[in-house]
Chains A and B, each alone.
Chain A
């Protein structure tokens, strides 16, 4: 595997990295609008440059309670393909201590995490000089059935 630049953040005691090629933009934490009747894993939505963007609270998803309101808490915007229409949509990931970009050199030691069905996936486990880093796989964040629900109705209606 070639060297990879990752954006690191912290959830509880775990350090998580996200390949920056999957990141569109990082924005400060905002006030999220909860959706009444929405799925429990959806923290809420916010308006980003005229578009409604759903946000997942990674702290809440992993059972660490709501993400703290710190200056270092950020929303990471990742582009996702809407399975219904094929359009690209943004998905926000709210998490804390989004503070560093690290280069993972090639040949790092990894172990693949066995995913529990229905659970969220943090992907590979990597050892670097500071210990253990989990590499988040955005495609495994939600079970496929939930991902489809995320993007309904189609974008033309939402805009």
Chain B
């Protein structure tokens, strides 16, 4: 059985592409036009479309689609994790973007008397005094020597709920979208504090980058400040 739509023909005496002559792209004199308002609602128009699709495919069509469909698609955006990669001493770390508020140039740190440990002091972030912590101390890295490139130093403003912290890093690399599947477990030999703060490691430009777990990082910040 042929579907009814393929039987619909243009009004007698008009060319096959009637929509260009008596239809909406022509002089609109077609007797079929008023009830359907626009040619795209007309059975003649859809029949012509169907006839077009029933034509043999042009040369090269099959090969082009064979090639196109063979290519694997990019990973689904749903399982990409947005990260900011930064450097501290000679190690690379990453923090999930949703924990970040802003990245600013290095600002003066106002030291708090009689407080040492992880607290570096207070930093004025847009008029708000925010606690600034030594990230290297939390991660158990060796004390920083004189910075090789002071102009590259940045401050990360991180947030969880209403808590805000400023962390100093030696440089910012880039924002990177990491497929969740590429997160490997941190090596068991990592005995330092950074081991338990890391959610895993991943390879980025031939380097191993430690992905910090923001929940555990905030927990460590809070515990150590007491």
Contacts and interface: CB of A to CB of B under 8 A. Distances in A.
B-side interface size class: 20 to 34
B73 interface: yes
A48 interface: yes
Interface residues of A, number: 25
Contacts of A68: 56
Nearest to A25: B69
B54 A46 contact: no
Interface stretch (B35-43, B58-66, B167-175, B210-218): B58-66
B59 to A, nearest CB: 10
A147 interface: no
A27 B52 contact: no
Nearest to B62: A31
Given A70-B53, A130-B3, A49 B73 contact: yes
A70 B55 contact: yes
Contacts of B50: 72, 97, 99
A30 B69 contact: yes
Given A49-B71, A69-B56, A71-B53, A31 B66 contact: yes
B55 A46 contact: no
A76 B108 CA distance: 63
A131 B56 CA distance: 27
Given A31-B66, A49-B71, A130-B1, 6 more contacts: A15-B1, A27-B65, A47-B69, A50-B71, A71-B55, A97-B53
24 contacts: A13-B1, A27-B65, A29-B62, A29-B65, A30-B62, A31-B66, A46-B66, A46-B70, A47-B70, A48-B69, A48-B70, A49-B69, A49-B71, A50-B70, A50-B71, A69-B62, A70-B54, A70-B55, A71-B52, A71-B54, A71-B55, A72-B50, A96-B54, A130-B4
Q: Which 3 residue pairs are nearest across A and B when measured between Cβ atoms?
A: A72-B53, A50-B72, A47-B70
Interface of A: 10, 13, 15, 27-31, 46-50, 68-73, 96-97, 99, 130-132
